[in-house]
Amino acid sequence: MGSIDVVFKPKMVCIFTRRTPMEQLKRKEIKEEEIVCSYVDTETGEVKYTLREGDSIRVDTKEQKEYRANHKYIKKNNSFVKIYKDTIGLLAKEELTKSEFKIILTALAYLDKTSGILTEDGMNIGKQRFMELVDISHNTFTEGVNHLIELNIMARTKSGKNSVYLMNPFIFMNGTYINATLYRIFKKSKWNTQND
């Protein structure tokens, strides 16, 4: 059996039974499967809740709590897309048309997290649907998309008989990770400013 550590909180005590070093507790999340913790009310002796093998817990420092108390988290239930700062200036120099920006902004609203593909309700967005969403003429849409593809801002590929559109993850991302295929498509573009 491992050793026991006790962590005190006001009127609560957490008893850790562990087989691993105390350094595990210094991380923000405790994910070590061998840690078992019971939170006990020190006044009543009642076990309020327990953490079992495989459970996780987030440990907040006093500084983290103070930071959150003085900062607001907005749009909690909305997803977001990020644009990298090092590409904003490059993008501005491309002198894109209003229609091309409309295509980009519409595409970003439908950007899948890891594949970079434009999706709606779990389905890939084809040319006709994409054009409907952007709400511009066929010729303007085609010219705009072709120019964005030339600039490696986006790419077009086939999925069966349908065109599928992808956004360059070195400019725009939805999430943290991308799949290897998306990486290979855009890794040699000028937008990969860090040559990842």
Residues 11-24 pLDDT 10s: 555 555 544 444 44
Model pLDDT, residue 30: 45
Nearest in space to 104 (alpha carbons), one of 168, 192, 183: 168
**Model confidence at 7, in pLDDT bands (50, 70, 90)?**
very low
> CA-to-CA distance for 120 and 173, rounded, in angstroms?
16
Nearest in space to 192 (alpha carbons), one of 80, 83, 82, 86: 86
pLDDT in tens, 123-165: 999 999 999 999 999 999 999 999 999 999 999 998 888 889 9
Cβ neighbour number for residue 139 with a 10 Å cutoff: 8
For residue 119 the two structure tokens come to: 């999706």
Domains and CATH numbers, the chain: 3-68 (no CATH), 82-186 (1.10.10.10)
Q: Which residue has the higher pLDDT, 60 or 179?
A: 179
- CA separation (Å) from 26 to 12, 22, 68? 19, 7, 20
> CA-to-CA distance for 151 and 86, rounded, in angstroms?
16
Model pLDDT, residue 18: 46
138-150 vs 127-134: helix crossing angle, rounded to 10: 110
Quote the pTM value.
0.65
For residue 31 the two structure tokens come to: 């994910």
pLDDT in tens, 64-116: 888 888 888 787 777 888 999 989 999 999 999 999 999 999 999 999 988 89
Give the CA count within 13 Å in the CB-facing half-sphere of 1. Answer: 6
